[in-house]
Amino acid sequence: MSLKVSGFSGSALDYKIVYFDNQNTPTAAIQENVTGTSGRWYSVDIDNKSGSPVYLRLYDGLDAVLGTTASHWGFMCKASTFERIEIPGGAPFATALNLWTTSGDDPKDNTAPASSGVVVTVVCS
């Protein structure tokens, strides 16, 4: 598991790319406050490498607790498929963006994805 956040900014653009590689020993652990600030997210890519459905979970706030906190957004991606969800105007996260992946459908699920895991890419400000 690894999390990389790359920022690129200029006079016209100020975006970040969050790359969450959850393939090696997949975990349900919450990746907290991944950009370190508030912002908007514009797209998510879910590349499910596993043979079971995966749920990408996004939460806006601080101190989310795995197994207790319900995600604000939840997107199911079927086994061995890729899915991209975009929001032209962006969806705001007023406090902090947290993300995690699970294999269960409960918004507060804490079950890690199946073996081979998932890769998630988020474009946000």
Partner 1 sequence: MSVTVSTIADPLGTKLIIDSNCNATPEQDVTGTDTTIIYAIEIDNTANTTLPTYVKLWNNDNAASGTTMPTLQFRVAAGAKETYVIGTGTSDVFVELSFWAVKSPYALSADDSDAAVSPASTVPVKILCT
Task: Evaluate whether 103 touches 113 at the Cβ level (below 8 Å).
Answer: yes
Smallest separation (angstroms) from partner 1 to the CB of 11: 27
Using CB under 8 A as the binding rule, whether residue 114 contacts partner 1 is answered as: no
Read off the tokens for 113: 């994805």
Binding residues for partner 1, rule CB under 8 A, total 29
Using CB under 8 A as the binding rule, whether residue 105 contacts partner 1 is answered as: yes
Using CB under 8 A as the binding rule, whether residue 62 contacts partner 1 is answered as: no
Using CB under 8 A as the binding rule, whether residue 83 contacts partner 1 is answered as: yes
Using CB under 8 A as the binding rule, whether residue 123 contacts partner 1 is answered as: no
Using CB under 8 A as the binding rule, whether residue 70 contacts partner 1 is answered as: yes
In whole angstroms, what is the distance from residue 15 CA to residue 57 CA?
21
Task: Evaluate whether 58 touches 27 at the Cβ level (below 8 Å).
Answer: no
Count of beta carbons in the 10 Å neighbourhood of residue 11: 5
